[in-house]
Amino acid sequence: MQQLPQEFLSRMKNMLGDEYDVFLKSYDKNKIQGLRINTLKCDGKAVFDEFQLRAVPWCDSGYYFDADDRPGKSVLHEGGAFYIQEPSAMAVVESMGVQRGDAVLDLCAAPGGKSSQIACKLQGDGLLISNEIIPSRAKILSQNIERMGVRNCVVLSQSPDALSVRLRGVFDKILVDAPCSGEGMFRKNPLAVDEWSPENVENCKVRQLDILDKAVKMLKSDGVIVYSTCTFSKQENEEVIDEFLQNNEDFEVAKSNFEFCQGYTLDNGKFNAQLVKTNRIFPHKFGGEGHFFAVLKRNGEKSKTKYPLQAVKVDAKAVKEFKAWQNENLNAQFDANLSFGQTLYSMPDGTPRLDGLKVERAGLQLGEYRKNRFEPSHALAMALKEGEVKRTLSLTKQDAEKYLSGQTLDADGIKGWALVMYNGVSLGWCKCDGTYAKNHYPKGLRKL
């Protein structure tokens, strides 16, 4: 077992009492590993055929995989058929009650696991805004949104404060997966142990309350905020929720749809009945790492808020070329309603005005008009299914690996743009001349 901070251990012993020794022994065990099927792209059959999976009880699309499996090296992973996600983390989005058509904000979204899970709940209907304040992490978030084939997501890189000024009363559901001291990840991430300190725990609490304060301003009058952390600290969990409820009397804690451990009462002896409806996941009790979450329901009348929508701005010539390309190559139809330069996007319906905000991805990137022709984007390929295109090139595993490395493939009898498929999952584009397929898999993603 790794060396854990003594102050942390003393606190956990006080919290857990008789369960402390069993909790401590969980650190001698291997970390729990899981993946979640991406229902935007597949039903999971190909994934089940490739790996030995066991169901995660609280997530219909979540599965544990064996330590000997390496799903991150799989062609299906590159195609976005699944997302490798810590099983406890899956419970958070399952508790949100996301419905098709909702407007949802993932306020602290990188690297994108929970955002892609929200997208699966929306199934392309409604609006998802995924935000990450750190630019480098926002790029990773955007890449994962692309890999998972999400069509209706806008990715921003902005502070919660700036968002709360621009996006007041926009969202039905908001996820605050708050930056925290990471105590629940000590088994999974030894670096979190080195960075832990009591001072950092207190600093996290201050920051978490500030983020929640900004989230409230962006929520509709009858909306839901789900607050989550991957830490055990009462300061960052129950104390945050208690203080939030004191400052926001129109909120209450709603019960989760799965029975986890109840939240604790406060150390100061004060009793708040709302706290027992919060949720804790302990590694010695459930198949996952440490997690906490609370479903915060706002008790207001159904929202009638109207907010200004993003203005449509398109390059007319680029749109004309895209429509011609779409008619020739797709069975599906996309609305090219936004352009940056000559790059076209299909922006989700209901997108609010984003003036002055840093936009990393303005919905689904369709492609680019250049040299008097339209060239489709990799993002569009990843969002498409077999029946939505005129031509496909279905590959064996060996040929799929060649495609991902950038090699040219045989394409007898196929002419024009074709969607490259492996086991029913789209991988990207190729352009065929009747004999060969020119590889259009992005050079930056190729596996050499």
- Residues forming the active site: 230
> In terms of C-beta density within 10 A (0-12 exposed, 13-18 middle, 19 or more buried), how is residue 427 classed?
buried
Q: Which residues contact 203 (CB under 8 A, 6 or more apart)?
A: none
> For residues 357 and 402, what is the distance between their CA atoms, to the nearest angstrom?
40
| Residue 272 Cα distances to 123, 208, 282, angstroms | 38, 20, 22
Residue with tokens 């997501």: 153
d(CA 365, CA 382): 11
Per-residue tokens: 349: 């319906």
C-alpha–C-alpha distance, residues 152 and 170, integer Å = 16
Q: Could you tell me the CA-to-CA distances from 250 to 161, 222, 239, 247 in Å, in that order?
A: 21, 10, 18, 9
Residue of 1, 4, 52 whose CA lies nearest to 27: 1
Q: What are phi and psi of 24, to 5 degrees?
A: -65, -40
Give the type of residue at 67: A
Helices (H) and strands (E) in the chain, counts: 14, 23
β-pair partners for 291: 281
